[in-house]
Amino acid sequence: MSQHKKPSLDPRTNPFRSDVAAKYLEGKVEAQRFVEGVRREVIRPIAAVRGAHSHEARQVTEALMGERVIVYETTEEGWAWGQIESDGYVGWMSANALAAPGAAPTHKVAALRTLGFPGPDIMLPPAAALPMGALLAIAREAGPFSVTPSGLHIPSVHLALMRETKSDFVTVAELFLGTPYLWGGKTALGIDCSGLVQVALQAAGMACPRDSDMQEQALGRPSSIPELRRGDLVFWKGHVAIARNSGSLLHANAHHMAVAIEPAVDAIARIGDAGSYVTSVKRL
């Protein structure tokens, strides 16, 4: 008599551990207890999401201001374990970076970065530095500023309505040129290869998983290096680059330790010399 094993679920996007799991996974995974999550809002401009409840643990991604997180556990030490709603990523965050949700976001930061001031005066010391993709509920306009319920004044020229999208995600990605490479990063302070793809595609209104292997599986249709054109995604094991045209790639990478542009043939050869080869090209 054959036994059918339950398909394994990816813990990066399914909130379960041996001791606790999301209630909706009951019957799909084994855990000591299953809990209903509590919805929270990220209240810091950038919140590190880590693989363990320690400030020394590896950052796996970042959550941005205004994003919603479903929290399944909060420890006495001030760590929250939960799942980001936008891309489903699971990890540990500082509980101080979260609060009960406020008004629904109406706008998002569309510039690479912007500053929030405590009043309608650009000569005031900024109260916050906000990254592209941060979500904001705007209560009113005050001259050139958009004002949040808490009184943060943000230059309106740096914001877009939630429904607005960029027409070319590659142009968005190019804004990050020179940004330092940061594992798990997704802002102009530091970004990794899949974070660059995700942020750029989200700005263009396209849903995108967080990690490069997820992106390779979920996005686009097969293409090839000889047919490379702007917007194609080139994948290696653990890496992804964006084609700017038929001959050059844009990618956040640890060789340059930055977001860089290089000829496609050079990048493919360099990465190949390190023992990794192109696994696919995807056209969106």
pLDDT digits (tens, 9 = 90+) for 107-120: 999 999 999 999 99
The band of 1, judged by pLDDT with boundaries at 50, 70 and 90, is very low
* 3 state SS of 57: coil
d(CA 128, CA 139): 17
The band of 143, judged by pLDDT with boundaries at 50, 70 and 90, is very high
pTM equals 0.95
DSSP β-ladder status, 20-22 and 33-35: parallel
d(CA 264, CA 243): 8
Find the mean pLDDT for residues 173-186: 98
pLDDT digits (tens, 9 = 90+) for 199-244: 999 999 999 999 999 999 999 999 999 999 999 999 999 999 999 9
Per-residue confidence (pLDDT) for residue 2, from 0 to 100: 41
pLDDT digits (tens, 9 = 90+) for 245-263: 999 999 999 999 999 999 9
| H or E element in which residue 153 lies | strand 153-155
Q: Which tokens hold the place of 6?
A: 């339950």
90 forms beta bridges with: 83
DSSP category for residue 214: H
d(CA 114, CA 187): 12
DSSP β-ladder status, 113-116 and 128-131: antiparallel
Burial 161-177 (b: 16+ CB within 10 A, else e): eeeeebeebbebbebbe
What is the overall mean pLDDT for the chain? 96
